[in-house]
Structures are given as structure tokens and as C-alpha cells.
Amino acid sequence: MQIESILIKNFMMMSFDEWTVVSREEIFKETAIILVNDSHGQVIGGITADNPEEILAVGVIPIDRLYAGEKDWEDYSMILATDEHERIIGCLKREELAFALYRHFKEEAFYFKSVLSSLPLEVSMIDESGKTCFLNDQALKIHGINREDAVDYDLKDLYHSCQLNTLLNETDKKVVMKVTEDRKGAYIQTNVLQGDRLIGAVQLYWKAEEIEKIAINLDRFMNLSTDFQAIVDASYDVIYVSDGNGMTLHASSACEDLWGYKSEELVGKSIYKLEEMGVFYPSVTRQVLEKKQKVQVFQTTKKGRRLVCIGTPIKDEKGNIIRVVNASRDITEENHLRMELEEMRLLTEGYKQQLSQLKGLEMESESLILKSERMEGVMTLARKVAEVDSTILIQGESGVGKEVIASYIHRKSERKDEPFIKVNCGAIPENLLESELFGYEKGAFTGASKTGKPGLFELANKGTIFLDEIGEIPLALQVKLLRVLQEMEFTRIGGTKPISVNVRIIAATNRNLQEEMKKGNFREDLYYRLNVVPLFIPPLRERKDDILALTLHFIQDFNEKFQTCKTFSPAVLDLFQTYDWAGNVRELQNMIERLIVTADAPIIDIEHLPDSLMEGKNLPVVHVTDIIPIKEAIHLVESQLLMLAKKKYGTTVKIAEALEVNQSTVSRKLKKVCT
């Protein structure tokens, strides 16, 4: 089944503002799918007639990548397929694409089995358990087996002393060529890997009388069998095969378009000679032979084409390289500008799309963003305890989001429609804390209200009270708080009548309460009353997977707040993910707000960052993406280093120390750069 045949081509694009005012009943009479654009014209989601209230996450993926079996479409609810010119040719839901790909690969598997069945030799396959899963027509005929019975055989019953099962213990690719012990035939055996996972093994078997007919071509036959296995393993646009000495054995016909030479003009020539002639540069085969491992390079051909080449070594049982297979793809049109535009487009889409594309979660009105496994575990526990009324003690450093988690637990509980009272126990003076928590009767003390005042526990009745910085509560008040936890009642200051309340208590602290108990600053019985369900939030430096998702979220928030449209460069995003963030999420949020407010450029780069963020960091890595003269490259790098050092250090003396050159050299070069 071709994916193109099921693509939905009846779609309409409109901005989010237009979508909010159109008649949805009328619009879906004319089209099947609405694609919603942001203010920059980028698609941020898709809407279908059967669920017009939900904006589905959309992925824009070239149709050839879908056929290639790549899995990046699984992150989206709707896929927009594009042609080679990046034009949208249709769309469909993820479930429909999954079914289409299943049909497509099933048809390919059927074709593959048909090819094997037509071979004039016996082909046997076993799965990872060692049982046969396929016999081709030749094997079925020779052994008199019906196709429906050709499973779960032990190959030793069909081929004397067959050792194909031993290949299931190999973790790397291995090819075995042997003559059977009874000298009646020969076979080639190889294990089958899917990525790094072993999925079975294959045996090709020839009878002795058949081998005798082609004995004079046996050497060529063995070479071709090895080449056949290599070609099966590498299926790219251009295939190039050389022996272990770098002599060309095979080049596919596409080499004439890319290299300007026919296949027969290359076969028999050394790759060293071809590299010297400028047919291609650099030679990936030469690098494979030198490094004795798989190599990927960008290659420039004599015709000026730009290729990405992957060289794969084929080794014998002793580890010697006997073949090198190159797989090449033409990327001439995919230049540096296109890659940068694509990167910025993806970042812009990320501002509007659901952060589920980053395996994150955005919790209703409070943006609680997470991606790391540790925070997913925290949220799993938070969702579970939200369903009951157990007391919770949230622990973690300042700024990690303890209040956000507490608010989330309240919103997901049955008390969500009742009050959620937040109390920062460290921000209220000690002499006022008791009256704030438990209230007072009229005339209880000098300056007290004539009508009295209810405490925060009374105001939180039937709801939730969040006691932040619980470790700051003085010992005298801890006794009264313990009574509330035990009996759910208390007495106002100056009062005599107990007041009963129905309240759920969530406490939080950045202190180590066990250490505070040892010092006598915190009651042991209160600690165990609070610590019914402990919930620890790790610091941001221990969950770096969350940093990018949080950064994108805060950039979007502050752009909307200050009506700006600023982005952060990839270098800044990389630096953010390596920084320790001692102030945790709060520090990250404040840093992003500061940069968006103070930076004048639309793209915030390394030079806009404060010195405190750059301390201990190396200078930026230089990335070479295209060919330029060496002198020009050296000049560009020197200029960037000097300007960056000037901004950071100010004086030529400090610049010279940092760059490890003479001060006179710095003065001379700075003068040249600045003129």
C-alpha cells in the first residue's frame, strides 16, 4: 500500500485567531482537516471534524523519510507529508500512518520471501529461539515438507551436523562459510541483526554436485556471496565496494552522475589513486582502512557534488578487513542555510506545540513542565496521593517547585473546588505566626481586632492548607500544630472552645528535618506525623533533561508577557543544559526573563549572557560547515576570540593572559579587527 494513496489532501490552513471566530459547522462541510498557523505562518497543530475542540500535535516529515522506516513520526498525533520541494502534499493521523506503514512493510517482506524462494539453492532461516521460521521453495522440495509445516524444525534434522544455532550467541555480525562433514554440500551462515538486537540466523546451502558444476568460478562465487551480504546490509543511493587493500571491486551505476566516471572506469583502480585524481575527497574507504572501524564523512566530488558517505568494514574471522562498503547520499541541495532555517522552525514550533513532543506535561493553568524520568516518577506519586487525604511532606532545595507540586495535588484531589491556602512559615514573624495559623478571639491581646479573627486553618476548612518552610516553625508552636494533625481541632488565642476542621495538610521544606531533630530544633513526633507520604523533588542539576523543556516554556511565556519575539541560539541552549542552576527552576526562570528584557538582538547568543553564567565555561566550539580558504577561516576565528575576550576581560593585559599571547600581539590584532 502506497502512503500517498491514503493521504488526506482536503485540508485548509488558517491562523488561530481566524479559527476562534469561524463557524465550525460550516467550515467542516468544505474541508476534512484544519491546519492552524501561528503568527509566523508556521503550522502549530491540526483539528479534525470529529474532535474540533482539540488541537493535535503536528509533525512535518518528508514522505521519503516515512518510507525509510524512521520512527520520529510516532511523537506526533498528526503527520504532514511533504515532497522533495518541502511542499505539503497531504496529512493523516498517526494511527492511519501506522497501519499504512504496516501494510507497506508487509508487502516488502512478501516480496523479499518471494525473491528467496526463487533462488536455485536451499535457504533456511531460524528465529532467536533456534527454530525454523522460513524455508524457501527449493528447501521445501528437496526435503518433502509442506509450507504450512515448515516451522519449528530443528535444522539438524534436515542438515547433518548443522551448527547454525551457534551464531545466536554472537553479538556482532558474523559470516561462516564451511563444507559439511559428510562432504555432500557447503553452506554460508550468518546471524541477522536488527540494529543491535539479534533476531535470528540464515543459512544458504549448496549440494556438492551443484558446486562441482561451478568449481572453476568458486573463488569469484565466494567473493560475490560476501559482496551480496554487504550490499544487503547497506541500502543507500550509491554503493561502492573495495577490497582490504583499497582496490575498487564494484561501483553502482549512479557513480557516473555523482563522480563523472562510469563503473567500469573505476573498477580495478586504487582508492588512493582516485582520491589523488580528485574523483572524490576525502576518501571514506581510506579512513576506514586506517581507523579499522565504521566512518562517516562529508565528501566533495570532482563534479562539485556534496555527499554524506558511510564506510563500513567487512572483517573475516581473524578481524582482518576484507571488504569496505561505502553507502553515499547526495546532499548538495541541503546546504547550511536550510539546516539553520529548519532548526529555527522547529524551535518556533516548540513554543506553540504541546510540550508532549518533549515527553513533557503542561498542567492546566500552572505550567509544570517535565521530561526527566525522575520527575515523571515524582508526578506519578503526586497523582496517586492526590486521590486520598494523606498528609504529604514535600522536600527539596529552594526553587525546585514544591509549591507548584502542592498546588497540582490540590487541583487533582476531591477538594479541588474548596480553598487552597498557602502559608510561608518562614516569612511570618514568630510572634504573629500562631495568630495567623489559628486565629484569635476579641480582646485576646493588645491591638487585637474587636471582632476577633479566624485563622488560616479555619479558612482552609474542607480544602487544603500548604505549610511551606515547615522547618521554620518554632518549637512552642510545633506542639499546637501536632494537635491539629492528630485530632483536627485547635483553640484560638484567647479562646476556650475547641474548633474542629476538615483540612488536608501538605507541608514543604528545604531543610533536612532529620538533622534538625538531632539538633533539637524540630519535634520527632511532629516529623513522623508530617512524613506520612514523603515526596522528594530533585534539584534541576540532577534532572538536566527538564532544562530544555522549561527554557522553551519560559521563553514563550515572557515573549507573550512583554510582546516580543526573541529566540535563543543553540549555543545558549547547550550552555543552559550544562550549567548547575544553584537556584533551580526559579533561577532559570529569572535568567530567561532578564535576557529577554535586556537583550536588544532578536536572537540571544553567548555574548548576551552575564559573566556569572560563563564562569568555568570554555570558549565556544568552532563548527565547520562549508569549505572556505584556510586564511579566511583563521581570520574569522581570531576575530571572534578577540571580540569575545574583549567583552569579557576589558583590558589587553587580561586578554593576553586568557589567550596566552603577548600584550603587543593583542593590541595589534584588536586594532586590525576594529578598523
Number of folded domains in the chain? 5
Report whether pLDDT(138) > 80: no
CA distances for 261 relative to 173, 274, 301, 545, angstroms: 33, 11, 11, 49
SS3 state at 235? coil
Q: Which residues contact 295 (CB under 8 A, 6 or more apart)?
A: 284, 287, 288, 310, 311
HSE (CB half, 13 Å, CA atoms) of 621? 8
Q: What pLDDT score was predicted for residue 505?
A: 94
Using one digit for the tens of pLDDT, what is the confidence trace for 261-283?
Answer: 887 888 888 989 888 888 888 88
The reply to whether 418 and 518 lie within a common domain is: yes
Highest average pLDDT, of 141-145, 247-251, 391-395, comes from 391-395
Residue 552 falls within a domain, yes or no?
no
- Mean pLDDT computed over 572-580: 85
pLDDT digits (tens, 9 = 90+) for 205-221: 877 767 666 655 556 65
630 CA to centre of own chain:
35
Report pLDDT digits (tens) over 370-400: 888 888 889 899 999 999 999 999 999 998 8
Last residue of a domain, one of 522, 538, 554: 538
pLDDT (tens digit, 9 = 90+) per residue, 619-662?
A: 444 555 567 788 777 777 787 788 788 777 778 888 888 888 88
Same domain, 96 and 129: no
In a domain, 604, yes or no: no
Note down the domain range covering 84. 3-104
Q: Give me the pLDDT at residue 637, please.
A: 79
The verdict on 439 and 399 lying in the same domain is yes
Structure confidence at residue 107 (pLDDT)? 64
Do residues 282 and 299 touch, judged by C-beta distance below 8 A?
yes
Calculate ∠ Cα 103-106-112, nearest 5°.
Answer: 145
Give residue 224's pLDDT.
60
Q: Are residues 202 and 256 in the same domain?
A: no
E-strand spans in 621-672? none
Whether residue 75 lies inside any domain: the answer is yes
CATH number, domain at 44?
A: 3.10.580
* Same domain assignment for residues 436 and 487: yes
Residues 6+ apart with CB under 8 A from 341: none
Q: Are residues 411 and 508 in the same domain?
A: yes
Same domain, 156 and 237: no
Same domain, yes or no: 281 and 238: yes
- Of the chain, the percentage scoring pLDDT greater than 70 comes to 82
> How far is the C-alpha of 415 from the C-alpha of 162, rounded, in Å?
69
In this prediction, residue 230 has a pLDDT band, given cuts at 50, 70 and 90, of: low
Question: With 90 as the cut, is the pLDDT of residue 134 above it?
Answer: no
Q: In CATH, what number is assigned to the domain containing residue 125? A: 3.30.450.20
What is the pLDDT confidence band of residue 232, given thresholds at 50, 70 and 90?
Answer: very low
Q: Do 157 and 76 lie in a common domain?
A: no
**Backbone CA torsion sign across 136, 137, 138, 143:** positive
Give the sign of the dihedral formed by CA 161, CA 164, CA 166, CA 172. Answer: positive
Report yes or no on 369 lying in a domain: no
Residue found by looking up cell 534434522 in the block:
157
Phi-psi region for residue 161, left (φ > 0), alpha (ψ -120 to 50) or beta? left
